[in-house]
């Protein structure tokens, strides 16, 4: 069935360093890959997304890359700041409609 694997489960970086979170998906028909950020006690919020016809997308300090052949996509955060500390979820559209399959999440901690 559809599956999205996410690594690492926890990530600790120093302020100003870069953070990379990786995900792989199993459904070759998946064509949309969003990333959500969830701060403690808050709702998941969409931070960036990419479609299968694009290899890379950037928005200020955040970028996402997609390798369709290998079925993996990654989130890159540069110049990390304490407010980047949160749980990050990758996801992929699987099946028809708007069914998102989520990865298990990465707890990112940016230390001063």
Partner 1 sequence: KAGVTQTPRYLIKTRGQQVTLSCSPISGHRSVSWYQQTPGQGLQFLFEYFSETQRNKGNFPGRFSGRQFSNSRSEMNVSTLELGDSALYLCASSDPQGSNEKLFFGSGTQLSVL
Q: Out of 12, 18, 45, 67, which residue is the one contacting partner 1 (CB under 8 A)?
A: 45
Least separation in angstroms between CB 100 and partner 1: 6
Q: Which residues contact 101 (CB under 8 A, 6 or more apart)?
A: 2, 3, 4, 25, 27, 91, 92, 94
Q: Using CB atoms within 10 A of its CB, is residue 89 exposed (0-12), middle (13-18) or buried (19+)?
A: buried
Least separation in angstroms between CB 40 and partner 1: 12
Q: Out of 13, 26, 27, 32, which residue is the one contacting partner 1 (CB under 8 A)?
A: 32
Name which of 59 and 79 has its Cβ closer to partner 1: 59
């Amino acid at each position: 069935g559809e599956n999205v694997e996410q690594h690492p489960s926890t990530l600790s970086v120093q302020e100003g360093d870069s953070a990379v979170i990786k995900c792989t998906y199993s459904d070759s028909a998946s064509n949309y890959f969003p990333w959500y950020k969830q701060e403690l006690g808050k709702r998941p919020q969409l931070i960036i997304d990419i479609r299968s016809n694009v290899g890379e997308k950037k928005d200020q300090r955040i970028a996402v890359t997609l390798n369709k052949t290998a079925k993996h996509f990654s989130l890159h955060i540069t110049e990390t700041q304490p407010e980047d500390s949160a749980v990050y979820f990758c996801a992929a559209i699987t099946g028809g409609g708007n069914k998102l399959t989520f990865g298990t999440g990465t707890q990112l901690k940016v230390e001063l």
